Amino acid sequence: MYLELSSRVRTRNGEDVKKKGLKTYRLDVSAQFYPIISTKKAQSVFRLSALLAREVDPVLLREAAGDVLRRFPTFKVRLRRGYAWYYFEENTEDVKVFPSTGKILRPIDTRETAGYLFRISYSAREIEFEVFHAVCDGMAALEFLKALLWRYAVLSGAPVEGGEGIADLDAPPSEEEAEDAFYRYYTPIRLGDIDLKGLMGELPLLLPGTIAEEGYGGTFVSAKASSVAACAKRMGASFTALVCGALAYSVERMSDCSRPIVIMVPVNLRTMFPSATMRNFVNFVRLVFKPRECAKIEEYVASAAAQLKEKATKEEMKKFFATTVRTESSLLMRVTPLFIKILGARIGRFFLKSRQTMIFSNVGRVRLPEGCGVERVLFNLNVSKTSKVNVGAVTLGEETSFAFTRAVKERSLEEEFRRTLEALGVAPSPAAE
């Protein structure tokens, strides 16, 4: 079985227990359902990868991974089955690294990874870090990758200058890094105030394309970071509003737009609710572009900016995750056995429809000490047969990379997006020339 589900140790309504002296963790609120809805072929896995200036030494990479993992205890876990929920248990196995198969976001087989819910791979000059979303979000994964790249550079004898912006591997992790920050900032609401329908929204336009049975594909569009920033400023929009507007405009140009284009945007809650958590702490905003509501690219960007201003507020985010927390902590959820939840998820999978056209996620700028020898970082999101193409952005130096992960063979969207950026006057990055 792909995700480690073998333990029959029970917990009282999902609460932590001690087993053989190993530390255990509840899954955070947003992670609870990831293992429940996962199958052998469909897991919510995402990838951060780094292109180095020199060829990767797998021996040093494994040593670096072991050093870093001790500093990130919520990554050093395996998945266990409790009575009502899954939970994490400390994993004492040595971490492994693997030669890359060349396949992107291949499901994680915990028999292969010694129980770990992530996979570190290498190929020539590239280091790949793929992780099951139940462990963390993109921002936490980026902190792990940065520490891994820094430690690998140090072990390889690279001329690394200091470790500013990198987790101190000699310092013990703080309790806050393991917290479920949703509960820390949760304001209780009545069961009757739960708005599950509001979380779903109307049925969106789905991208066309031929499903690639051989696995997911990945390409990227590269842009000059300062040029993207200048374009956003010129249009009076944020980076996210600019990109979402450009993506929606690109989708409109390649489809009939019989339904609204819906772009889901993860919002890093750490910027609104201070927390050092290394677990999941994001909420989603739904940007909806109704059919023929916009005609020009400028109108799409303006619409995205207005929606983000209205929806991505502290008040709206708190209201959003209050519904999630209240649902997860309800008596019904606490007393319903895990096997019933799994059965319900499998049945529901046949009836639920996709609620987004695509996801766009930006993990921001990667700041690494001088001398680490990293030339490019890519961020690939999970996709499915309905959400066929998703886009992840990351900036390193003067390059902003937009990674398109595809469940389809066609590359229509990334080519249209490239043309849209050119029309906006966004220059390609020097690294891409």
Kindly report the number of other CB atoms within 10 A of residue 320's CB atom. Answer: 18
pTM for this prediction: 0.91
CATH of the domain at 66: 3.30.559.10
At 7, give phi and psi (nearest 5°). -70, 140
Is the same domain home to 86 and 235? no
Is the same domain home to 140 and 97? yes
% of the chain beyond a pLDDT of 70: 91
List the domain range (segments joined by +) for residue 410.
190-312+353-432
Q: Is residue 337 part of a domain?
A: no
Cα separation values, 60 from 56, 153, 155, 371, 381, Å:
8, 9, 7, 17, 27
The count of C-alpha atoms lying within 13 angstroms of the C-alpha of 119, restricted to the half-sphere facing its C-beta, is 24
Q: Which helix (H) or strand (E) holds 317?
A: helix 314-328
**Gap between the terminal Cα atoms of the chain:** 44
If one compares 202 and 396, the residue with the highest pLDDT of the two is: 396
pLDDT of 196: 56
Average pLDDT over residues 253-276: 93
- Burial-class residue 148 by CB neighbours within 10 Å (0-12, 13-18, 19+): buried
Determine the Cα–Cα distance for residues 251 and 245; give it in Å rounded to an integer: 10
Is the same domain home to 159 and 201? no
Residue 2 has pLDDT above 50, yes or no: no
SS3 assignment, position 382: coil
Place of tokens 């793929």: 130
Residue 370 has pLDDT above 50, yes or no: yes
Phi-psi region of 4 (alpha: psi -120 to 50; beta: other; left: phi over 0): beta
Number of structural domains in the chain: 2
Average pLDDT over residues 6-15: 37
Determine the Cα–Cα distance for residues 206 and 356; give it in Å rounded to an integer: 8
The chain-wide mean pLDDT, for the chain, equals 90
Per-residue model confidence as pLDDT tens digits over 287-306: 999 998 898 999 999 999 99
- Indicate the DSSP class of residue 14: G
Q: Is residue 242 part of a domain?
A: yes
Is the same domain home to 359 and 213? yes
Is the same domain home to 282 and 378? yes
Residue 35 · residue 135 · CB < 8 Å: no
Q: Is residue 275 part of a domain?
A: yes
Of 2-6, 67-71, 102-106, 401-405, the least confident = 2-6
Q: Is residue 178 part of a domain?
A: no
Per-residue model confidence as pLDDT tens digits over 180-215: 999 999 988 665 655 555 556 678 999 989 998 888
Determine the Cα–Cα distance for residues 13 and 335; give it in Å rounded to an integer: 6
Is the same domain home to 124 and 223? no
Is the same domain home to 297 and 424? yes
Cα separation values, 219 from 151, 235, 308, 357, Å:
28, 27, 27, 18
Determine the Cα–Cα distance for residues 394 and 372; give it in Å rounded to an integer: 17
Determine the Cα–Cα distance for residues 156 and 322; give it in Å rounded to an integer: 46
Is the same domain home to 199 and 164? no
Determine the Cα–Cα distance for residues 220 and 239; give it in Å rounded to an integer: 17
The domain boundary, picked from 137, 171, 205, lies at 171
Is the same domain home to 84 and 218? no
Determine the Cα–Cα distance for residues 395 and 224; give it in Å rounded to an integer: 9
Per-residue model confidence as pLDDT tens digits over 14-73: 444 445 689 999 999 999 999 998 887 788 999 999 999 999 999 999 999 999 999 999
If one compares 361 and 30, the residue with the highest pLDDT of the two is: 361
Residue 422 · residue 227 · CB < 8 Å: no
CATH of the domain at 196: 3.30.559.30
pLDDT of 239: 97
At 32, give phi and psi (nearest 5°). -55, -40
pLDDT of 25: 94
